[in-house]
Amino acid sequence: MSLIVQKYGGTSVGSVDRIKAVAERVARGRQAGRKMVVVVSAMAGETNRLFKLASELSDTPDLRETDALVSTGEQVSAALLSIRLQSLGVPAISFVADQLKIATDSNHGRARIKSVECDRVVKELERGRIVVVAGYQGVDANGNITTLGRGASDLTAVALAAALKADACEIYTDVDGVYTADPNLCPRARKLRRVSYDEMLEMAALGAKVLQGRSVELARRYNVPLVVLSSFSDSEGTWVGKEDRSMEDVLVSGVTLDQNQSKITIAGVEDSPGLAAKIFGPIAAAGIVIDMIIQNASADGHTDMTFTVARDDLKRALELMRSIAADIGAAGVRHEAQVAKVSIVGVGMRTHAGVAAKMFNVLAAERINIEMIATSEIKVSVVVNSKYGELAMRSLHDAFVNGGAAVSSAETV
């Protein structure tokens, strides 16, 4: 008998009618002979409502109390789904994190799962019950309620699937799978049937919102197959798992676009050892994540250093840079508030050369200037002027996904 962990997001349990639909889906799964653990998010809007109440009572609400507050959203959904399942004649029982000993550290608001006890879940599954679990929450060593960060019900589901050695972890959401590009921006985007953990991780990091990066990491570590599905349809979804040979035939699995990037240049810096540390040390200390870095070839012993940050961090990063520029005697600080990062991702790149070159050719043919480049084993990212972002994405999608299956040797650099 297969054991499946399912996770339903906030939209999927967002109303009484949606909860009824989820219960029917779960009941069908059980009739098909599956043992099932079902993790739920809070009903859509509920978590925001609770955060808002807290913010009306304090400018800086205590984190421990905020966790106790917002974790109720998932407790409500779990109890409601269990009530519905029982009214359909399906034995079910709901649990909060404390009752299942989903143990975390004490970092309220962004706790990390340390361990999950499975005894109780296994016992209830053996009694033939559906086990419904409140996602997003844990309990620390002192019995305090913690939460795992926004969107982290996925993490609860993957952790349970890993601990239970489940056959799969199905993530139900309001889209029906992982796409080769954002279908809203790229009408020719296609749903992927299969994608590897590594590709999914890159895509999540590059702005694809369908799966949370930490959950994919955890799934990869414990080799839990993920399936991304829609709770609004019966279409097949996307399987996320271990890379295999056949995946290498597909050169590019996805094209992503991130319009929330900013570019900063610190110009005319004396090129001396330890320069990068002087510039980037304070940035890291401020908790600002730097994405791409370019150091221009040094002319007269002076150099330009350019890097990108998330747009939300631009203001703080600029303030820091101006003070650093004064300290180290740089010529000045320039910035571009909005640039676009366009990336192609695919494990096929590991075994095929020339992908970057083809990418540059495609963009050159569209007369799009490449401002920065970063590569990893399975992705190539470029920064372009923001206004060309969507065009770049669609051109690359046409060339790599809809058009060319593989790169011919003629195109190799």
Q: Quick one: 95 or 197, whose CB is closer to a copy of itself?
A: 95
Q: What is the DSSP letter of 231?
A: T
Encoding tokens for residue 191? 């749903």
Q: Quick one: 147 or 306, whose CB is closer to a copy of itself?
A: 147
SS3 408: coil
Alpha helices in 71-186 (DSSP H): 72-87, 97-100, 119-126, 153-164
What whole-number distance in Å separates Cα of residue 13 and Cα of residue 26? 13
Contact region for a copy of itself (CB under 8 A) — 78-86, 218-226, 318-326, 356-364?
Answer: 78-86
C-alpha separations of 297 from 115, 328, 360 in Å: 49, 19, 21
What whole-number distance in Å separates Cα of residue 114 and Cα of residue 103? 5
Sign of CA dihedral 261, 227, 137, 87: positive
Q: Quick one: 62 or 319, whose CB is closer to a copy of itself?
A: 62
Give the count of residues interacting with a copy of itself (CB under 8 A): 37
Check residue 16 for interaction with a copy of itself (CB under 8 A).
yes
Check residue 56 for interaction with a copy of itself (CB under 8 A).
yes
Residue among 30, 84, 341, 379 that touches a copy of itself (CB under 8 A):
84
Structure-token match 């839990």, residue found: 224
Check residue 61 for interaction with a copy of itself (CB under 8 A).
yes
What whole-number distance in Å separates Cα of residue 396 and Cα of residue 360? 10
Least distance from C-beta 38 to a copy of itself, angstroms? 13
Q: Quick one: 60 or 408, whose CB is closer to a copy of itself?
A: 60
Least distance from C-beta 114 to a copy of itself, angstroms? 19
Check residue 267 for interaction with a copy of itself (CB under 8 A).
no
Residue among 38, 69, 162, 362 that touches a copy of itself (CB under 8 A):
69
Q: Quick one: 93 or 314, whose CB is closer to a copy of itself?
A: 93
Q: Quick one: 147 or 265, whose CB is closer to a copy of itself?
A: 147
In contact, 58 and 114? CB cutoff 8 Å: no
Check residue 122 for interaction with a copy of itself (CB under 8 A).
no
Residue among 99, 230, 295, 296 that touches a copy of itself (CB under 8 A):
99
C-alpha separations of 125 from 19, 92, 131, 158, 247 in Å: 21, 9, 7, 17, 35
What whole-number distance in Å separates Cα of residue 100 and Cα of residue 103? 9
Check residue 48 for interaction with a copy of itself (CB under 8 A).
no
Least distance from C-beta 72 to a copy of itself, angstroms? 4
Check residue 109 for interaction with a copy of itself (CB under 8 A).
no
In contact, 115 and 123? CB cutoff 8 Å: no
**Crossing angle for the helix pair 389-396 and 355-365, to the nearest 10 degrees:** 130
Residue among 58, 323, 351, 369 that touches a copy of itself (CB under 8 A):
58
Residue among 44, 79, 118, 391 that touches a copy of itself (CB under 8 A):
79
Backbone angles phi, psi at 358, to 5 degrees: -60, -40
Check residue 94 for interaction with a copy of itself (CB under 8 A).
yes
Structure-token match 């002027």, residue found: 385
> How do strand 35-40 and strand 130-134 relate by DSSP bridges?
parallel
Q: Quick one: 14 or 254, whose CB is closer to a copy of itself?
A: 14
Check residue 143 for interaction with a copy of itself (CB under 8 A).
yes
Contact region for a copy of itself (CB under 8 A) — 50-58, 197-205, 210-218, 336-344?
Answer: 50-58
Check residue 311 for interaction with a copy of itself (CB under 8 A).
no
Contact region for a copy of itself (CB under 8 A) — 47-55, 194-202, 221-229, 302-310?
Answer: 47-55
Check residue 59 for interaction with a copy of itself (CB under 8 A).
yes
Q: Compute the half-sphere exposure of residue 134: CA atoms within 13 Å on the CB side of its CA.
A: 29
Q: Quick one: 87 or 323, whose CB is closer to a copy of itself?
A: 87
What whole-number distance in Å separates Cα of residue 100 and Cα of residue 85? 20
Backbone angles phi, psi at 71, to 5 degrees: -65, -15
Check residue 64 for interaction with a copy of itself (CB under 8 A).
yes
Q: Point out which residues bind a copy of itself (CB under 8 A).
A: 16, 19-20, 50, 53-54, 56-62, 64-66, 68-69, 72, 75-76, 78-80, 82-84, 86-87, 93-94, 96, 98-99, 143-145
